[in-house]
Every structure is written in C-alpha cells, then in structure tokens.
C-alpha cells in the first residue's frame, strides 16, 4: 500500500474537515502575520515531510543497534545519520538527538551530572534564565538548590564579577550559562575558568544561539562546556526538539540520563527531521542565512532604538533583541497586545533596568522568508507607529499583509 496519499493534505480534509481547517488557519496566520517570536522559525518542506512520515509509527526505545523493540533496523539509520551530522556540524565527540525538547535536554544534563539537593549557579529568572534554571514552578527549582546571578542594571550585560563571587562562596556542583533573552554572545571561556576554579561542571544551555553556531555566526560553547544542551527548532530551523552535545567521557552518562532515566521511546520521525535539518545547516546557504539573521537583528535593533525604544545592551550580537517600549507610552504587555492586533507577533520579557515587562523579538523566521535590512527598517517603523498610536490596527495589518505577501514562508 502506498503511504503517499496519507501525506496529502486533502486526505485530512476528506476525513476530518474540522481539523483540516485548523491546519489551514494556522498556515494562513503564519503566512500573513509577522512572526517575530525569537524562538520560532519556518522549517523546510523536507523537515515537514520527515515529521509527517511513517517513522511516526515506530517504537524505538534504546539506541541504534540496542533497541527494546523489533523492526528498528531502518529507523536506526535515521538516528545514526542525525547523530553523525550533529557531531560533524558542531565538531563534537558525542551527540544525543533524542531529547523531546530543550527542557528535556536540560533535565537529562542535570540527571547525568547532579544529585538532588546539589547547588547550581545559573542566570536568575528575572534576568533571562529559563524555567529549567531554577524556577520554583519547575523540577529544577524543586530538586536542586539554585543560586542566581544577574545582569548589570545599567548595561544589561552579564555581571561576571557577581558570577565569580557567587561561585566562590557557594561552590556549586554545576554552573549553567544560557538564557532565553540575552542578546549578546556569552563568554564561554570566562565561565569555563570560573567552573574550573571552583570544581564545577559547566553546562551551556545554548537553546537560542545553537543555530547561529551551526552557521558560524556565533561562537561555539562546545570547546568550553562539559555538556551543551540545545533546541533544534529555533534559528537552527529543525523540528521541535532538543539535543545534547558532550565529550566522549560523558557520553554514556548522558545517554543513560536521556534513556531510560528521563525519557521513554525515541520519536523517530522527529529524529529523522533533525537529521534533515542538520544536513541543511551544513550547507553554505545556511551559513549565509545565519549571518543574515544577525545582520537583520542589528538593523532592527538600531532602528528600534532610533524610534525611541530602549534596546537592552544597546544592540545585539544574535537573532534576539529585547527592548523597553516605555518611552513610546506603554509597557511590554500592552505593547504585545497592540502589536498582536496589528499582526506583529512577539513576546514579553523581563527587563534588567525596570520592573515593567519589555518586548523580546527575533529575526530567524522573517530572515527565512527572505527579508533583509530594508524590511527590518519597515518593521521597526511600523512597530513604533503602532505603539505610538500613529496607525490603527487595520492600517497596520494592511501594511503587514503587503510585506508578508511579498515574502511567503512556503512559496509556490
């Protein structure tokens, strides 16, 4: 029996029009609004094809060549390809491509290196730490003793003096460097030095910049960190999921921490899609994309600042910008609502210098659509007009539609 008809959208429409409408509606929303959420991107049709493939049917607990299920010979090839491609892409001895998400990768990294009750030093949540970096609402805050470092209130830059002081006084078992909103490169050599001084493991949570690292547009944490955790769905443009990179000496501990300690069966369709994305990320076209993502973010940050927003750290090294819209008359939450009504989709975030929320936006998705510096200028000007009330929601939506219409995420 051919599997091809099952991959065609009209099969879903015939069988379940209600859900087909949901898929169509979301595709239209993504194509006609501006996707400025820093953690999102548009995967390639090839990645989507792998995700929607019969590999979704396969149970495959364990690792290639050592599975707890029969019939894994073919999906083993997919996982071996994903692992090999990740190893080559990031120049690392070992890659585990099974984590279901970035959070699962961090959980497994802690499981590999720590015991409950251990002290961990990480960027505090009010400064851009992730939930898995010690939130009381998350397993990390419940099971470990997190100490938070911060950023300088004026510059927004990580406070290295504080990191060193806290490391010396708390002697953590691990130090985590990584953030959901830090727009600058992280100084991995500094964190390695502090970790060595106090005998701590260094865990780099590179969920955000890993796609830039893949394209040579950001420095790699691999030479410095004992374990690198990452997502595959942000700038990297793969399927939703996670991965862990480490040296050969921690490989077995990391693998056991993923399966069987924190996860069950690997999701083979997602792993196949990760392999496709890693293959794409190894191309010169992807490297050009990654550099363009950063170039676009710089233009966007500069223009937002020129429009009056306070851009944290005064700019960006990455795909990500955080900014305070207060000078334009609204806080981050109000701004996000107004912008959503205008068809500009982004997030709120904490700000280093204020209690009010700010805005977090990124250029990964719009760059995949083919937009460049000129379009970044347009976006910044429109965003500021919306916040100032110089254009109404309908007018802004029309401008967004005109722009997105010229840059469809899935042309043809």
Compute the least distance from the CB of residue 38 to ligand PLP, in Å.
8
State the catalytic residues.
Answer: 59, 61, 205, 231, 234, 240
Compare residues 129 and 172 and give the one whose CB is closer to ligand PLP: 129
Q: How many CB atoms lie within 10 A of CB 341?
A: 14
Compare residues 208 and 319 and give the one whose CB is closer to ligand PLP: 208
Compare residues 60 and 210 and give the one whose CB is closer to ligand PLP: 210
Compute the least distance from the CB of residue 100 to ligand PLP, in Å.
8
Give CA–CA dist 85/252, Å, rounded.
19
Binding region for ligand PLP (CB under 6 A): 39, 101-103, 106, 130, 132, 178-180, 205, 207-208, 231, 242
The answer to the question of whether 249 is labelled as a binding residue is: yes
Compute the least distance from the CB of residue 233 to ligand PLP, in Å.
7
Give CA–CA dist 222/192, Å, rounded.
11
Compute the least distance from the CB of residue 181 to ligand PLP, in Å.
8
The answer to the question of whether 319 is labelled as a binding residue is: no
Compare residues 259 and 386 and give the one whose CB is closer to ligand PLP: 259
**What residue number has its CB nearest to ligand PLP?**
102
CA distances from 118 to 79, 154, 197, 214, 337 (A): 33, 32, 18, 32, 40
Give CA–CA dist 198/215, Å, rounded.
33
- Of the candidates 214, 236, 370, 223, the one whose C-alpha atom is nearest the C-alpha of residue 282 is 214
Helix 284-306 / helix 373-388 crossing angle, nearest 10 deg: 30
The answer to the question of whether 339 is labelled as a binding residue is: no
Q: Which residues contact 82 (CB under 8 A, 6 or more apart)?
A: 95, 97, 271, 272, 274, 275, 278
Give CA–CA dist 267/58, Å, rounded.
8
Helix, strand, or coil here: 68? coil
Compute the least distance from the CB of residue 178 to ligand PLP, in Å.
5
Compare residues 219 and 372 and give the one whose CB is closer to ligand PLP: 219
Binding-site residue positions: 125, 129-131, 249
State the binding site for (6S)-5,6,7,8-tetrahydrofolate. Answer: 125, 129-131, 249
């Amino acid at each position: 029996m051919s599997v091809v008809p099952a991959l065609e959208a009209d099969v879903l429409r015939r069988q379940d029009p209600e859900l087909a409408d949901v898929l169509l509606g979301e595709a239209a929303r993504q194509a006609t609004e501006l996707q400025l959420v820093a953690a999102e991107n548009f995967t390639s049709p090839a990645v989507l094809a792998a995700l929607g493939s019969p590999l979704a049917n396969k149970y495959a607990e364990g690792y290639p060549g050592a599975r707890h299920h029969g019939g894994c010979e073919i999906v083993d090839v997919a996982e071996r390809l994903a692992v090999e491609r990740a190893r080559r892409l990031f120049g690392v001895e070992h890659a585990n491509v099974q984590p279901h998400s970035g959070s699962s990768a961090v959980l497994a990294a802690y499981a590999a290196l720590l015991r409950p009750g251990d002290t961990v030093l990480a960027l505090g949540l009010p400064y851009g730490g992730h939930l898995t970096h010690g939130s009381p609402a998350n397993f990390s805050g419940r099971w470990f003793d997190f100490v938070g470092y911060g950023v300088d209130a004026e510059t927004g830059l990580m406070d290295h003096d504080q990191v060193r002081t806290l490391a010396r006084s708390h002697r953590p078992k691990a130090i985590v460097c990584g953030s959901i909103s830090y727009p600058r490169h992280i100084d991995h050599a500094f964190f390695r030095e502090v970790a060595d001084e106090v005998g701590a493991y260094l865990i780099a949570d590179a969920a955000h910049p890993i796609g830039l690292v893949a394209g040579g547009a950001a420095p790699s944490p691999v030479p410095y960190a004992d374990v690198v955790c990452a997502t595959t769905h942000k700038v990297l443009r793969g399927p939703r999921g996670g991965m862990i990179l480490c040296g050969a000496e921690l490989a077995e501990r990391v693998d056991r921490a993923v399966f069987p300690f924190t996860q069950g069966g690997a999701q083979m369709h997602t792993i196949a899609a990760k392999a496709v994305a890693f293959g794409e990320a190894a191309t010169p076209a992807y490297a050009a994309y990654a550099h363009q993502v950063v170039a676009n973010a710089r233009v966007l940050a500069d223009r937002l600042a020129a429009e009056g927003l306070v851009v944290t750290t005064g700019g960006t090294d990455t795909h990500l910008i955080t900014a305070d819209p207060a000078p334009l008359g609204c806080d981050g939450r109000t701004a996000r609502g107004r912008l959503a009504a205008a068809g500009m989709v982004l997030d709120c975030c904490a700000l280093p210098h204020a209690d009010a929320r700010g805005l977090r936006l990124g250029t990964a998705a719009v760059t995949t659509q083919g937009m460049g510096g000129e379009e970044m200028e347009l976006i910044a000007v429109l965003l500021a007009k919306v916040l100032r009330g110089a254009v109404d929601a309908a007018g802004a939506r029309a401008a967004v539609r005109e722009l997105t219409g010229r840059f469809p995420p899935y042309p043809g």
